[in-house]
Amino acid sequence: MARGVYIHIPFCHQICNYCDFNKVFFKNQPVDEYIEALGKEMKMAVERKPEAFTNVETVFLGGGTPTALSAKQITRLLELIRTYIPMKNVVEFSSEANPDELSEEKLKALLDGGVNRLSMGVQSFDQDLLKKIGRTHSNAHVYETIALAKKVGFTNISIDLMYGLPHQTMEQWKETLKQAFALELPHYSAYSLIVEPKTIFYIQYAKGRLALPTEDLEADMYDVLMKEMEAHDLAQYEISNFAKPGFASIHNKIYWDNDEYAGFGAGAHGYVDRVRYSNHGPIKKYIEAVESGHLPIIHEHEVTPLEQLEEQMFLGLRKVDGVEAPAFEQKFHETIWEKYRTVIEELTCKGLLESDENGIRLTRSGRFVGNEVFQQFLLEE
């Protein structure tokens, strides 16, 4: 049963140098046709498996950039979502956004269509760094757009920040955090740069032309991040996410709890009835599949019990609360300690993990080497 719904909007007015998500330039794309295809896909999916959508709690518009759409297109998209997705239990309806694409008209279209949370890609308040990573907005865009969003009626606003960027210094990172806190928002996300294949940065890295900070500097940046968030009364609830009370992302928690969600759109992924699936990525193939009366799924994989266990651990350990013992036992009919006692004891001795009757979680030190900890929970068949 899907707790969340993810809807992918693959259009961008500018492609960022680090982005490996399914996306295309907006110009000359069949945007209106794509939006109608989304409606048809949602209709087919819900009609074929209505029981999977009876308790949807969140909807998330991602991309690409949903705010690359016009106000009229946003209104039509949200109309289709409300028509085909059961909304009675939805408590969080998020949309990603770019600071230089949000007009008052678009913000009103989002709010009137049911969106109650904005997640804005700011990344840095250093203009030179923004250019190096392929962003087109200015700091003025950020200030003006957030003020406008608040004026229109949005109270749940988050911004994304990035560290470990090419040529980024600690001074630049501290200044970005200072300006971010000045906005007095209830939620912040901060991610270290990962150089992904099929990105501009990957090509530069392969040619030795990407000057990245050292691992030590990146770790120091993360340390400063956690300290500054705590100093500003923003609780860390996941490795990269911080919030005021009541503003943690419910949709993202669905992923970290390893619960099920439906994915719609070109290149979207979903996880329903223990089956992980992905859609056609090319927009033309996606639309053709939907127009022919078929769900645009190109790949399906039934998650094995072993894979489900592993996913529960490496996703759950991203949360500051960690993997909860009661939920684990209810799902797998054995305790975490029965399954992983040896590895838990080893990691606890190293100061990377802590445990009690409520479950297991990373220590503060463990958050710096999360991926290394997660790998210890991979099991053999």
The whole-model pTM stands at 0.94
Joined together, the tokens standing for residue 381 give 């068949």
105 & 223 share domain: yes
Single out the residue in 256, 271, 296 at which a domain terminates: 256
Joined together, the tokens standing for residue 376 give 């210890």
43 & 153 share domain: yes
Instruction: Quickly count: other Cβ atoms within 10 Å of residue 131's Cβ.
Output: 12
Evaluate whether residue 192 is within a structural domain: yes
Q: 71-84 vs 31-48: helix axis angle to the nearest 10?
A: 10
**How high is the pLDDT of residue 255?**
97
Per-residue pLDDT of the chain (381 residues; tens, 9 = 90+): 999 999 999 998 776 766 766 667 678 899 999 999 999 999 999 999 999 999 999 999 999 899 999 999 999 999 999 999 999 999 999 999 999 999 999 999 999 999 999 999 999 999 999 988 888 889 999 999 999 999 999 999 999 999 999 999 999 999 999 999 999 999 999 999 988 888 888 788 788 888 889 999 999 999 999 999 999 999 999 999 999 999 999 999 999 999 999 999 999 999 999 999 999 999 999 999 999 999 999 999 999 999 999 999 999 999 999 999 999 999 999 999 999 999 999 999 999 999 999 999 999 999 999 999 999 998 765
Strand partners, 270: 277
Q: Which domain holds residue 340?
A: 318-375
Burial class (CB in 10 A: 0-12, 13-18, 19+), 51: exposed
| Distance, CA of 359 to CA of 220 (rounded, Å) | 28
In the chain, what percentage of residues exceed pLDDT 90?
Answer: 87
> DSSP E strands: which ranges in 193-245?
235-238, 241-243
Evaluate whether residue 263 is within a structural domain: no
Which residues are CB-contacts of 250 (< 8 A; sequence separation ≥ 6)?
57, 58, 91, 92
Sheet containing 297-302: order of strands: 235-238, 241-243, 187-192, 157-163, 117-123, 92-97, 58-63, 4-9, 261-264, 269-272, 275-279, 297-302
Single out the residue in 256, 284, 302 at which a domain terminates: 256
**How high is the pLDDT of residue 203?**
83
Angstrom distances, CA of residue 333 to CA of 153, 265, 272, 315: 46, 35, 21, 19
Q: Domain containing 345 — which CATH number?
A: 1.10.10.920
163 & 47 share domain: yes
What letter does residue 64 receive in the DSSP assignment? S
Angstrom distances, CA of residue 350 to CA of 102, 223, 343, 365: 47, 19, 11, 10
Total domains in the fold of the chain: 2
330 & 227 share domain: no
Closest among 281, 261, 258, 260 to 374, alpha carbons compared: 258
| Distance, CA of 161 to CA of 141 (rounded, Å) | 15
**Over the stretch 261-296, which tens digit does the pLDDT of each residue have?**
999 999 999 999 999 999 999 999 999 999 999 999
| Distance, CA of 234 to CA of 246 (rounded, Å) | 11
Instruction: Quickly count: other Cβ atoms within 10 Å of residue 91's Cβ.
Output: 11
Q: Which residue has tokens 């439906």? A: 262
248 & 331 share domain: no
Angstrom distances, CA of residue 67 to CA of 64, 81, 103, 104, 162: 9, 16, 9, 12, 20
Q: Which residue has tokens 């200015």? A: 138
**How high is the pLDDT of residue 1?**
93
Q: Is the CA virtual torsion 114, 161, 270, 361 positive or negative?
A: negative
| Distance, CA of 168 to CA of 311 (rounded, Å) | 33
Q: 104-112 vs 71-84: helix axis angle to the nearest 10?
A: 10
Evaluate whether residue 347 is within a structural domain: yes
**Residue 99, phi-psi category: left (phi > 0), alpha (psi -120 to 50), beta (remainder):** alpha
Evaluate whether residue 155 is within a structural domain: yes
Peptide bond into 351 cis (omega under 30): no
Joined together, the tokens standing for residue 155 give 């109270």
245 & 334 share domain: no
Q: Domain containing 25 — which CATH number?
A: 3.20.20.70
Evaluate whether residue 14 is within a structural domain: yes
244 & 371 share domain: no
43 & 171 share domain: yes
Q: What stretches of 12-119 show up as alpha helix (H) in DSSP?
A: 31-48, 71-84, 104-112
232 & 328 share domain: no
Evaluate whether residue 281 is within a structural domain: no
**How high is the pLDDT of residue 36?**
98
Evaluate whether residue 304 is within a structural domain: no
Evaluate whether residue 171 is within a structural domain: yes
Joined together, the tokens standing for residue 129 give 């760094």
**How high is the pLDDT of residue 21?**
66
